[in-house]
Structure 1
């Protein structure tokens, strides 16, 4: 499956007023190689294994495969991950006909807040809420795999 996604920095925390879900996420990388990242994630009470390919030249699209796994398996796999875990809280906000996922990072990435929206095509129109700031789509510094090895607080 091809994932089409745009990323933005966030101006303030007013998005929290409209959030319909909030989940803690812990994740690590079995491989952080840009051509094939392999991620283990625990989101709320569910575990996931995800493989992502390299982004296209615009940074908007890339291959993504995800499979739900047991919490127990996810916990065991997290122990095998590369150094640099990601710890964040994800808020989901409906804006128009789309869902924004806003990640508020903790730990080494404290202070970083990034919003993502998945689209059906690279040209698809979407409503931009007032709390969106600068677009960072395609800027690899904002990939979780990069943040796991080069934390935001060291920039």
Structure 2
């Protein structure tokens, strides 16, 4: 057993965008302090008016995650350290018919045609038994290219391949 908080989630591309007209959304910008090859990721995130520092470890379906709220001033002080390792997106947070929450990301900038959706689960068994809605596309949970840390540093050719893949 670990005393580290765990995040159990699956990530998918979208087959088609659902109706998002009444789904709450927030603008997010995030950057990474750690280098892409580091196994632990340290992330700064501004989500609406909130500012956060997160530390994530591991890979795949189950990862450790710790997040703390920081001030806007602390965020601005650290933000320059993320130059060259940033993404921007709009996150829509909605509910699936089975009661699970989804987070659908619509990326901006060089990733503007990328759409992903994540669902967090209470256990690995729930994650593996998940009935995927028809608007979800390919499961990319284990594909490191679709991790936000990887997307934040992806070059033009990689982005092109992801958008066309």
- TM-score, normalization: structure 2? 0.84
Pairing partner for 2:43 from 26, 39, 51: 39
What secondary structure does 2:33 align onto? strand
Q: Which residue of 1 aligns with 2:67?
A: 66
Deviation at 1:42, TM superposition (A): 0.1
Deviation at 1:34, TM superposition (A): 4.0
8 Å CA contact retained: 1:18, 1:93: no
Q: Which residue of 1 aligns with 2:159?
A: 153
Structure-2 separation of matches of 1:154 and 1:4: 29
Deviation at 1:11, TM superposition (A): 1.6
Q: Which residue of 2 aligns with 1:137?
A: 141
Structure-2 separation of matches of 1:119 and 1:15: 23
Deviation at 1:54, TM superposition (A): 1.8
- TM-score, normalization: structure 1? 0.89
Q: Which residue of 2 aligns with 1:102?
A: 104
8 Å CA contact retained: 1:50, 1:65: yes
8 Å CA contact retained: 1:24, 1:44: yes
Q: Which residue of 2 aligns with 1:49?
A: 53
User: Larger Rg: 1 or 2?
Assistant: 2
Q: Which residue of 2 aligns with 1:26?
A: 29
Return 5+ residue gaps in structure 2 as ranges.
none
After superposition, the C-alpha distances for 1:17-50 in whole angstroms (9 at most, x for unaligned) are 452x200000000003441000000000000000
- After superposing the two structures, state which structure 1 stretch, 121-130 or 22-31, moved more: 121-130
Distance change in 2, residues 1:3/1:34 (3 Å):
farther
The count of aligned residue pairs is 151
